[in-house]
Structure 1
Amino acid sequence: IFLDEVDAYPASADEEGDPVSLAEARSLTFAHRRKVFLVSTPTIRGLSRIEREYEASDQRRFFVACPHCGASQWLKFERLRWEKGKPETAAYACEACDAAIAEHHKTAMLEHGEWRATATSVDPSTIGFHLSALYSPVGWLSWERIARAWEAAHSSDEAIRAFRNTILGETWVETGEAPDWRRLYDRRGNWPAGTVPRGGLFLTAGADVQKDRIEVDVWAWGRGLESWLVDHVVIDGGPEHARSWDTLAALLARTWPHARGAEMQIARCAVDTGYEAPAVYAWARRQGFAQVAPVKGVEGFNRASPVSGPTYVDATEGGRRIRRGARLWTVAVSTFKAETYRHLRLDRPTAEELAAGASFPPGTVHLPDWVESEWLKQFVAEQLVTVKTKRGFARLEWQKLRERNEALDARVYARAAAWIAGADRWPEAKWRDLEAQLGAGDDAAAPPSDGVLADGTTAEPSAGLIRRRTSCGRRVFRSSYLG
Structure 2
Amino acid sequence: MKPTTKKSTAKLNAAIAPAIRNFKPPEDLTVAEWADRHRRLSPENSAESGPWRTSRTPYLREPMEAFTDPRIRKIVMVAASQVGKSELELNIIGYIIDQDPGSILFVQPSLDDARKFSRLRIAPMIRDSKVLRAKVSDVKSKDSGNTILQKSFPGGMLTITGSNSASALASTPARYILGDERDRWAVSAGAEGDPWALAEARQATFYNAKAVEVSTPTIKGASNIESSYYLGTQERWCHQCPECGEYGEITFDRIHFEHTVAKVRGKKAYKIVGPITWCCPSCGCIVPEEKMRKQPAKWIAENPAAYDEGVRSFWLNAFSSPWTPWEKIALKFLQAKDDPQKLKVVYNTLLGELWEDRGDIADEDTMLARREDYGTNADGSPVEVPEGVLVLTCGVDTQDNRLEYEVVGHGFYGETWGIKKGYIMGKPDTDEVWQQLDDVIDHVYRFKDGKGLRISITCVDSGGHYTQEVYTRCRERKNKRVFAIKGKGGDGIPFVTPPSKVPIKDNKRITCWLYTLGVDAGKETIMSSLKVQEAGPKYCHFPIHESCGYDTYYFNGLLSERLELTQTKRGNQWHWVKIPGHNRNEALDCRNYANAGLKIIDPDMFAVERRLKNVQETPQTKPTQRRKPKPAARNYFDEW
In the alignment, the residues of structure 2 paired with residue 290 and residue 19 of structure 1 have an alpha-carbon distance, to the nearest angstrom, of 51
Change (3 A) 1:147 1:201: farther
Residue 40 of structure 1 is matched in structure 2 by 215
Q: Are 1:57 and 2:232 counterparts?
A: yes
Q: Is the Cα–Cα contact under 8 Å of residues 563 and 574 in structure 2 kept in the other structure?
A: no
The answer to whether residue 194 in structure 2 is matched with residue 18 in structure 1 is yes
Is the Cα contact below 8 Å between 1:268 and 1:417 reproduced in 2? yes
C-alpha change, 1:284 and 1:200, in structure 2 (3 Å) is same
Of 112, 129, 143, which residue of structure 1 is paired with 2:314?
129
For the Cα contact (< 8 Å) 2:279–2:287, is it kept in 1?
no
Q: Secondary structure of 1:332's match?
A: helix
The one-letter code matched in structure 1 to 2:203 is S
SS of residue matched to 1:368 = coil
Supply the distance in 2 between the matched residues of 1:196 and 1:239 (Cα, whole angstroms).
28
Q: Secondary structure at the match of 1:170?
A: coil
CA distance in 1, matches of 2:312, 2:349: 21
Instruction: Report the equivalent of 1:335.
Output: 524
Partner of 1:234: 423
In the other structure, the counterpart of 1:411 is 591
Letter in 2 for 1:92: I
1:108 to 289, 294, 303: 294
2:190 pairs with 1:3:
no
Are residues 1:27 and 2:216 paired?
no
Match among 388, 407, 426 for residue 218 of structure 1:
407
**Paired residue for 2:560, among 371, 375, 381?**
381
Q: Which residue of 1 aligns with 2:324?
A: 141
The alpha carbon displacement at 1:177 in A equals 5.8
**Partner SS, residue 152 of structure 1:** helix
**Where do 1:124-203 residues align within 5 Å?**
124-137=309-322, 140-174=323-357, 179-182=362-365, 184-185=367-368, 188-191=371-374, 195-200=384-389, 202-203=391-392
2:612 match: 467
Q: What's the counterpart of residue 315 of structure 1?
A: 502
Kept in 1, the 8 Å contact 2:459–2:483? The answer is: yes
Partner of 2:247: 72
Whole-angstrom distance in 1 between the partners of 2:223 and 2:469: 40
The match for 1:354 is none
Given that 1:295 and 1:331 are in contact with CA atoms closer than 8 Å, whether structure 2 keeps it comes out as no
Within a 5 Å distance, the mapping from 1:83-102 to structure 2 comes to 83-85=259-261, 86-89=270-273, 91-96=275-280, 97-102=284-289
Instruction: Name the structure 1 match of 2:12.
Output: none
Cα separation, 2, equivalents of 1:134 and 1:335:
30
The AA in structure 2 aligned to 1:17 is G
Unpaired runs of 5+ in structure 1? 349-358, 424-429, 438-459, 478-482
How far apart are 1:406 and its partner, in Å? 0.9
Give the match for residue 441 of structure 1.
none
C-alpha separation between the residues in 2 aligned to 1:395 and 1:379?
A: 19
Map of 1:450 onto structure 2 = none
Alpha carbons of 1:327 and 1:409: their partners in 2 closer, same or farther (altered >3 Å)?
closer
* Map 1:319-468 → 2, pairs under 5 A: 319=506, 328-332=516-520, 335-336=524-525, 338-339=527-528, 342=531, 363=539, 365-370=541-546, 371-382=550-561, 398-400=577-579, 401-414=581-594, 461=609, 466-467=611-612
Alignment CA distance shift 1:244-1:171 (3 Å): farther
CA distance in 1, matches of 2:208, 2:471: 60
Q: Provide Cα deviations, 1:424-469, integer angstroms capped at 9, x if missing partner.
A: xxxxxx9xx85xx8xxxxxxxxxxxxxxxxxxxxxx84xxx84357
Contact 2:487 2:518 in 1 (8 A): yes
Identity of aligned residues (%): 26
AA at the equivalent of 2:298: E
- Counterpart of 2:354, as a letter, is T
Summarize the Cα distance change of 1:61–1:376 in structure 2 as closer, same or farther, 3 Å threshold.
same
Which range is displaced more, 371-380 or 321-330? 321-330
> Larger Rg: 1 or 2?
2
User: Larger RCO: Structure 1 or Structure 2 (Cα < 8 Å, ≥ 6 residues apart)?
Assistant: 1
Give the distance between the partners of 1:105 and 1:420, measured in 2 at CA.
53
Find out whether 1:117 has 2:339 as its counterpart. no
Q: State the TM-score, normalized to the length of structure 1.
A: 0.66
> Does the Cα contact within 8 Å between 1:90 and 1:147 map onto a contact in 2?
no
| Cα distance between partner residues in 2 of 1:416 and 1:246 | 23
Tell whether the 8 Å contact from 1:153 to 1:163 is kept in structure 2 after alignment: yes
Residue deviations 1:167-187, cap 9 Å, x none?
222222236567543454455
Q: Deviations over 1:88-131 (max 9, x none)?
A: 436432322543514x456535xx43222234575743333222
Report how many aligned residue pairs link the two structures: 417
Give the counterpart letter for 1:166 in structure 2: T
TM-score computed with the length of structure 2 as normaliser: 0.52
Please state how far the C-alpha of 1:228 moved relative to its aligned partner: 3.2
Give the aligned residue type for 1:404.
R
Contact persistence 1:380–1:408 (CA under 8 A): yes
Alpha-carbon displacement from aligned partner over 1:371-412 (angstroms, at most 9, x marks no partner): 333323323334666778899989775234243221123234
- For residues 288 and 36 of structure 1, what CA distance do their matches in structure 2 show? 65
Amino acid at match of 1:173: E
Range moving further from structure 2, 44-53 or 362-371? 362-371
SS at match of 2:497: strand
> Which consecutive unaligned segments of at least 5 residues does structure 2 have?
1-176, 262-269, 375-380, 620-639
**Helix, strand or coil at the partner of 2:373:** coil
C-alpha separation between the residues in 1 aligned to 2:226 and 2:591? 32
Contact persistence 1:209–1:271 (CA under 8 A): yes
Q: What is the alpha-carbon distance in structure 2 between the residues aligned to residue 369 and residue 328 of structure 1?
A: 34
